[in-house]
Chains A and B, each alone.
Chain A
């Protein structure tokens, strides 16, 4: 898909931005072909703006009108402790920190940094660096990340716990991961994106390949303060596989998530859930795409948000059912509570169905708090604040409970309550 349009070269803003980024992030020698193709995209197309359909509701000034630096890679940080017994790998401002991480070895896994054995993996084979300007930006400048391969038949009993911490003022970080599950293997990945109170930009692209009969679960929690998050997940599913992903955006000044799933083998199950609760001037944009390429698959999508104060949230969920994809079962739901007149929700579910024997449904609701329910709870002696708390928890519960570990669920529920009452 080409969504950006060609403009003349003297786009000063663009050259200023790319100029400063490339002087900060020069010197990456690996993945030359990918980077060249990404550069072509960056130079050929304009920075996405209102006229770019996929970026229509998301202003990119927060990222573009900023002069970003590369981190020195040695900041002292206080890692938040979410102990889930995982294999923890930590990146600070985009760079791997062996001092904060577990060993890159585990039975059934082959884990290495993207720079090692570079030309021998699937990196860049799925992403849209030729069509999407921001994906190209990541492809051109990424300088670290992990390639995680799961052996055939390996059921990995510990979750992989990735932490992407953005810390230093005015730093950008560009990371790139590959998850590759061989036949009949399974893996749970928990990715925690954390931003300090400084202005930072975190761009992470993850390409996942779920082999035959394999199962991948990804739990994503995003919490920044002044961080701008651009996170892209591409997943390709082979036959009889299962892919589940939960994205919880707790806080961040600017978030753009792109989640794209190519269902390329029959008899697959894909589930995508998300929760967001922007407040203040925050902006959260979730773009999802499920591409049903073959018959007999099902996808189940549910995104829920609470938007308040001057915040804006965007949900754009595309489901393609290609002509061959008969007997597809695709379900999509987006439900929102908009608490203030000054808050904005753009919800755009899109179903494009080219097969005739399918079951597809989508729904989008945007409403207010159920005041009758608040009254009912209060009439039983529950204080108003607690009543609203229970209802917020209830509204988001069917998303939060899809997080694969109860400790993550508790973590999010507590954070949500704190955020709703701050």
Chain B
């Protein structure tokens, strides 16, 4: 589904991704872990099409499309979703209007009819319940005045509404207490399917107790330096990253 090959990316002339490769098949869950500043959010931004980054090498294919050729909106319309580490507040744009616009622009791209208001509201009700997001929040401005946990649940709610083929969750667990974390995980698990894949970026093994990954990768200095099964996450939790850093420099 997603093939990243030897990807290099710069920001303001500094190389952040330095030859990153990753393969994701339909239905798989990949966890990406790694120390702060190693390039995890950069990878997510580059995949989502953030133009602040310059791609200097490598390729990314998504389904049968050259992902790097697509605009940000077309990537989303092709089924890529990024749950942001820091969701922005957009005063004055209602969560609901914005989602309706998004749903219908995606449908239009696929040559489908707009969703009826009734069906849309039904879907909102059903999917917001998945992450126990208060109906009131759905009517407020996008993320405005939301708590940290509400912002993260709103990201998962949007994911559930847009039904992407691939969802990248960038530290969706950071700053959540255990109850909120379970809710987020429950939302993600409800959306699991043999066709839908996930990339879960996290610092903490804890999340992976609830969203069980098929693969765990360590991203360090702009590259995947180690990959393994879910046990790797437990090892990282127990031993930290120093041994990885040593392996890399050895």
Contacts and interface: CB of A to CB of B under 8 A. Distances in A.
A373 B144 CA distance: 12
B92 A381 contact: no
What size tier do the contact residues of chain A reach?
20 to 34
Contact of A382 (B50, B73, B87, B91): B73
Interface string B90-128: 111100011101100110010000000000000000000
A381 B87 contact: no
A380 B90 contact: no
A398 B92 contact: yes
B217 interface: no
Interface string B186-229: 00000000000000000000000000000000000000000000
Nearest to A387: B73
Contact of A390 (B50, B88, B101, B106): B101
28 contacts: A373-B88, A373-B90, A373-B93, A377-B93, A377-B98, A378-B49, A378-B73, A379-B75, A379-B81, A379-B82, A380-B76, A380-B102, A381-B77, A381-B102, A381-B109, A382-B73, A382-B101, A382-B102, A383-B105, A390-B93, A390-B97, A390-B101, A391-B90, A393-B93, A394-B90, A394-B92, A394-B141, A395-B92
Contacts of B72: 375, 378-379
Nearest to B50: A375
A279 B92 CA distance: 23
A382 B84 CA distance: 16
A377 B72 CA distance: 9
Interface in B61-83: 71-73, 75-77, 81-82
B31 interface: no
Nearest to B83: A379
The 3 nearest A-B residue pairs measured at CB: A394-B92, A381-B76, A378-B72
Nearest to A401: B92
A376 interface: yes
Interface of A, helix, strand, loop or mixed by DSSP:
helix
B60 interface: no
B155 to A, nearest CB: 10
A375 B142 CA distance: 14
Interface in B122-169: 141-142, 158, 162
A246 B196 CA distance: 50
Contacts of A383: 73, 105
A280 B87 CA distance: 35
A375 B141 CA distance: 16
A384 interface: yes
Interface of A: 370, 372-373, 375-384, 386-387, 390-391, 393-395, 397-398
B43 interface: no
Given A375-B50, A376-B84, A384-B71, A397 B98 contact: no
Contacts of B76: 378-381
Nearest to B93: A394
B184 interface: no
B185 interface: no
B91 A386 contact: no
A377 B98 CA distance: 8
A380 B93 contact: no
A299 B88 CA distance: 32
A381 B90 contact: no
Given A382-B98, A390-B98, A376 B90 contact: yes
A376 B77 contact: no
A8 to B, nearest CB: 53
B46 interface: no
Given A370-B88, A376-B87, A376-B88, A381 B93 contact: no
A373 B77 CA distance: 18
B48 interface: yes
Contacts of B102: 377, 380-382
A387 B97 CA distance: 12
A105 to B, nearest CB: 42
Given A378-B71, A380-B98, A381-B102, 15 more contacts: A375-B72, A376-B90, A378-B76, A379-B49, A379-B73, A379-B76, A380-B99, A381-B109, A383-B105, A386-B101, A386-B105, A390-B98, A390-B101, A391-B93, A397-B92
A37 B162 CA distance: 68
Nearest to B73: A378
A379 B98 contact: no
Nearest to B51: A375
B162 A381 contact: yes
Nearest to B97: A390
A373 B88 CA distance: 6
A394 B87 CA distance: 17
A382 B158 CA distance: 13
Contact of A381 (B50, B105, B142): B105
B105 A372 contact: no
A387 B98 CA distance: 9
Contact of A393 (B73, B87, B92, B99): B92
A391 B98 CA distance: 10
A271 B120 CA distance: 38
Contact of A372 (B71, B88, B93): B88
